[in-house]
Structure 1
């Protein structure tokens, strides 16, 4: 059965223009900032170790499913295969990175997914999940090559995985009160106003700590308010170095979108990024590309804004 798909074009400003916008905005939130347009480094190498070299070639965002599939009541039938999702966004041979819910049939429980997959005939899966173990601790796992699925929701950036020009964002010592991703998104929203812009890619927490959550197994009671959600989630202070897979879009664009979503992992930890907790020493390095389209796949029929932070 094919999934319902909607898509809309996004505004595509020159990378040099975006870099200038972000340089000015991030200087208000970080003591040291450098935003430039560079040749994308080979992301298959350390420290990223992703499954394709770059973020270029037909770049696009997709918002699949959504939090309303998880709460107030979980819909366990909402299962997706990222290889099929690549076809749904008109890029069957894609390099996909992003943040979503892990494939619970393969993992055994609910989990946080860090998607890192090349689809098509040369499929390669480098995805990880973070789950809560029997002791209540966060446990990081590399998914088996065959586990290319996800459940409930996924925010993904897809491209041909080619080398090319991208944005490099370097920021150190946070002086403002918003996280890196939100600062980037709000800067673009402020400058471009009604023109929706989307970015996707990866960033590193080079130094410092970050507040991250990991979903435990599915709640046995309905999650109906923010207090319920925060009581159910498990929060952790995670230490650099960590690699995050990240998407953001400035406006809802009439598609009921999650505006930003980043999941990441280190040597023995992983989860959903909220913000850094060590502003005096924090350091980030990010590589993003501008998306040409936003796809909305399997939009929930009944929606809400709970649990989207």
Structure 2
């Protein structure tokens, strides 16, 4: 019998849905708060962890934005990123595409340059230290208006040669993708790839809007797509990658339990599903924790876990030659493990 835990541990993989601000561990939050003399509304690490009980996305976002207040300098953003990459490398992540939310920081007076240069330095350090490659995706906050998104895109222009794409995150309900159609069109005209959170709490109609009005290259979450059989068939036919986050879905009550998670249904429907950690400091684990959470699901076997890893490379924004090399390494790993 295959030891799925051991198989997952060594499985080469990419991570495609990671909010870097969401990797801020409680210990880091307190350390940065002390370093920058920022007050936070929690007495201790234990007190902070005790607040991580969420019934919906907004419950999490309220604490997420409070935590981001401790990030003030390039060194903070560098250290935050490198700490994530250290954990990712330990999970045998060989490539990561990370989101960042510049509006969260510029709104409190932190220059875009501080955020971007700090993260890019952390990414460079990770490649030197671990050989782990990465790409940066600028996310617009959907609870703000499109003019604010346009202003952020304008400020980001000097860094666009080092930013792979734009995304859309934050509060989904009441903020449909169509709200940002013009700024996504502008980003596409600049040569940026496009991704968007849709179908996590929002209905299948939000996924249609992300596809047809934002012209996304990858769909973040997408769980509720399965409620629409025509949409599901379209996503399968177009080989649209879904960046699925099991522990996030569990923690935010998107699913009733891991046994009810739709990822097996996604795979059986031919969807290019991947496994990711979303905001791991808040949701109980990094990427291998998310893979392991699925091990007990009826019906998933070693071939499915290999396919999830394979999809992570196929769905990445790496050039074809890099994808081919990663797939060859993955195939060798699977063959050797099974032997």
- TM-score clears 0.5: no
- Structure ID, larger Rg: 2
Larger RCO, structures 1/2 (Cα 8 Å, 6+ apart)? 1
TM-score of the aligned structures, taking structure 2 as reference length = 0.27
Normalized per residue, the structure richer in helix is: 2
TM-score of the aligned structures, taking structure 1 as reference length = 0.28
